[in-house]
Structure 1
Amino acid sequence: MGILSRLFGKTEARSATSASYAEAFGISPTASGAYVSPRLAENLATVAACVSAISSAMASLPAYVYRAAERGRTELPGHPVARIIRHPNTRQTWPDLIEWIMAQALLHGNAVCVVEYDGAGRPTALLPIPWNNVQVSLLPSGRLAYDVAHFSAPWGGPGLSRRYLEGEVFHLRDRSDDGLLGRSRISRAPEVLGIAIAANNAVSKLYSGGLRAQGFIEAPVFLTEAQRKDVDNWLGKIREAMQHGRLPMLEGGFKFGNASISPEDAELLASRRFSVEELCRLFQVPPPIVQDLSHGTFTNSREAGRWFAQFTLSPWARKIEAEFSRSVFGVNSADCTLELDMSGLMRADAEARWQSHKIAVEAGILDPDEIRDIEGWNPRPAGKQPVEGEGA
């Protein structure tokens, strides 16, 4: 049995089609003729922008560890998980790790990190593992086992494999079909991406032809085989001239017939705009967030930002918090939780931030010194009162 047979489980390597080879590597064929995979999907600017918008926004959220108290909760900056937030591993910062986790979950449907522990069983680090390096098995006990092939070099081949059990792995899933593994949005709607990729390919071919009309050459008489060979060489020079913007000359009674259609006639541009909207729907990202302002105004773009926070980011934040409670805190910290502070999204919106502070002070929820602490300022000196109209 050859290596292809062992890789793809075929009894004979030559009996497998190229499509089955592609599917074995997560590349799906579509009706449009384009192949779709996470790597190919990111060639589309809209997919890359949606993934970047969600992952970078999630990475910008402050994270805190709390323990439930009799009345309310207490922040635990010295908790082992709080130390992971400050320093998750030797190669990444916390924003880097969250950005990576979100990109993996959006493109592959799953994001896996190995949880490292010290001798006392306290978590000390989260090590990111690319989804392509993970093989998940369901054990007879009903638990999942993760066979991880660690990379021996950044872009080299995989090293030795090691098995981890559920309690040793942080596993963030996109919506699952079986409750075990997440399924990527790319695999749920390959035709949407296939059409967008095919449209991109069509535009690429149009530009590679120098945006010149494509058509046919009409000969005055039937040609012999020898004449056909001469004409083929001659047509090559004609195509080269057209690609460089030079005006070709037709001799011997030959005529050029235009058999092409313009981008407007083919509605390529309209199709690509529609693909942007379709891909935004797939990732639940409002078009203005990825710089599609064709229907945007200042007002609805601002509302799109709120919609993005409420319906796109908030569910992912809850998923991450719940997965930390399941896999990272463990039984020794069952009363502890991770919180991703969504108010961090207002960091760049000073007007909205200070308006919310004003409401909190007027309602008696916070006092001015608490507001100053939130903003990173020291408390007012003892005895100094705010000047009328100065606020906090």
Structure 2
Amino acid sequence: MAIKDWLSRRNEGKAPETRASIENPTVPVSAENFFAFFGVNSANLPAVNVDKALTVPAVWAAVAFLSRTLAAIPRHAYRDTKEGAKRVNGKLETVVNGAPNDIMGSFAFWQWFWGQVFTEGRGLAYIERTPQGVDSLWPMDPKKTTIKRNGVKIVYQYEGQEYDAADVIDVPFMRRSCGLRHYGPISQASKAIQLAIAMNDYGSNFFAGGGVPPLSLEGPLPANGDAMKRATSDVMRAVEGAKNANEPVFAIPTGYKLSPVGIDPAKGQMVEARRFQVEEIARAYQLPPVFLQDLTRATFSNAEQQDLHLVKHLIGQWAKALEDELNLKFFGRNNNGRYIEHNLDGLLRGDFKTRMEGYGISIQNGIRTPDEVRGLENLPAIGGEAEKLHIQGATVPLGSQPKPGATPPAANDNTDPEAKAA
């Protein structure tokens, strides 16, 4: 007898085992499989894509805040000289800080660019060059771009054309081990976002239904299915009528009782759970919760520290990532002393008091001249003494103090006794 015939006879009369059945010994009895057997699994959670994720206020706030903040920071081109770093003007300054192309301003372009990084997980831009140098930056939709290797080099395929890596600004959220693909924050935090969406949907459905939870009808069972449907319809009409009439009481048939099904949102700690999801999404972006308007544990001092944390450990790092790409792709490995750098002082633009105090310290300690500070505030230069560095003391120009051991100038007034005697 063939083995397959013996097995077929042995299994005659037995119900076939499904792959998902917990009675199948090949299926591990895990929490996921156990809940799946009863119809409760992760597939019941809403699918997450970028548009759906942005309906979660915490995700929307994180993406909007980070993209706008990084877009608002000034970035300038510099060249090293014997006298120190000098700002480079002309077309290069226009591209990096004015208008990257003919149809988009700097803020709009860079907000779009960083928005791609913090949603899809990658920002791409094509560099248009002329014989004179860099002329424009053009956006490339990451969803329509294919990245592949030709030998050891990387090329980008976009709308039927191939672009060399040297002509593409590429800032991924985090690269995969292959060096081509990337991880995106929304895809990696999809479970936390799914839970936030599910709680949003449950809350909206709960309150849209007048705050009435799912109910079970208990009592003598009707004779048949149609009778049960009629009884259920009667109760539903009674509940709906009481809700529309703003009446807290409604009647049900004698001998029947209504009981809520599921967990009371308050007992299920729904408010606490929704607040925790804000913290989870903040973790996905490494963003201090205070910038997602979560002030639950905020105090005056720790909110200020979170502000410092934002610049040092988040904004500064993303600024460095873009600077490296711009410097390498614009100027090459041998940049001849040219580079692009963000001016993180631009974050103080709305903090007048701190900005003025910083200017005062820089002038009094010989770091900046008064005219340099006036230039930062878009004020005209004064010239003369304002072009010189000053130092605290009498706050006088450097070099005007008497040298050690030098004879002080003679008194020339009539209050000197010896002068009067002469």
Rounded to whole Å, the distance in 2 between the matches of 1:318 and 1:134 is 24
Please name the residue that 2:161 is paired with: 162
Identity of aligned residues (%): 23
Q: TM-score, normalised by structure 2?
A: 0.75
Rounded to whole Å, the distance in 2 between the matches of 1:165 and 1:328 is 13
Q: TM-score, normalised by structure 1?
A: 0.81
Runs of 4 or more off by more than 4 Å in structure 1? Answer: 29-32, 330-334, 381-386, 388-391
Q: Deviations over 1:150-184 (max 9, x none)?
A: xxxxxxxxxxx222111221111122122334321
Structure number with greater CO (CA < 8 Å, separation at least 6) is 1
CA distance 1:272–1:390, shift in 2 (3 Å): farther
Rounded to whole Å, the distance in 2 between the matches of 1:381 and 1:164 is 49
Which residues of 2 match residues 102-251 of structure 1 at below 5 A?
102-118=114-130, 120=131, 122-139=133-150, 141-149=151-159, 161-178=160-177, 179-241=179-241, 243-244=243-244, 245-246=246-247, 247-251=249-253
Rounded to whole Å, the distance in 1 between the matches of 2:386 and 2:48 is 64
CA distance 1:226–1:63, shift in 2 (3 Å): closer
**Aligned-residue offset at 1:331:** 6.9
Please name the residue that 2:265 is paired with: 263
**Aligned-residue offset at 1:365:** 0.9
**Aligned-residue offset at 1:384:** 9.0
SS for the counterpart of 1:117 is strand
**Aligned-residue offset at 1:99:** 1.1
Please name the residue that 1:338 is paired with: 340
Rounded to whole Å, the distance in 2 between the matches of 1:267 and 1:384 is 63
How many residues end up aligned between the 2 structures?
349
**Aligned-residue offset at 1:252:** 4.6
Q: Give the partner amino acid of 2:127.
A: V
Q: Give the partner amino acid of 1:273.
A: R
**Aligned-residue offset at 1:232:** 4.2
Say whether the 8 Å CA contact 2:148–2:180 is kept in structure 1: no
Gaps of 5+ in 1: 1-28, 150-160
Q: Deviations over 1:319-343 (max 9, x none)?
A: 1110001223447955321111000
SS for the counterpart of 2:252 is coil
Rounded to whole Å, the distance in 1 between the matches of 2:238 and 2:183 is 50
Rounded to whole Å, the distance in 2 between the matches of 1:299 and 1:69 is 42
Of stretches 177-186 and 233-242 in structure 1, the one that deviates more from structure 2 is 233-242
Q: Give the partner amino acid of 2:155.
A: A
1:348 aligns with 2:350: yes
Q: Deviations over 1:11-67 (max 9, x none)?
A: xxxxxxxxxxxxxxxxxx957733222222212111111111111111111111111
Please name the residue that 2:321 is paired with: 319
Rounded to whole Å, the distance in 2 between the matches of 1:70 and 1:333 is 16
**Aligned-residue offset at 1:351:** 1.5
The one of 23, 36, 53 equivalent to 1:41 is 53
Q: Give the partner amino acid of 1:74.
A: K
Say whether the 8 Å CA contact 2:363–2:370 is kept in structure 1: yes
Rounded to whole Å, the distance in 2 between the matches of 1:225 and 1:175 is 57
Rounded to whole Å, the distance in 2 between the matches of 1:274 and 1:32 is 21
Say whether the 8 Å CA contact 1:67–1:335 is kept in structure 2: yes
- Asked which structure has the greater CA Rg, the reply is 2
SS for the counterpart of 1:266 is coil
Rounded to whole Å, the distance in 2 between the matches of 1:384 and 1:173 is 45
The one of 104, 110, 116 equivalent to 1:92 is 104
Please name the residue that 1:301 is paired with: 303
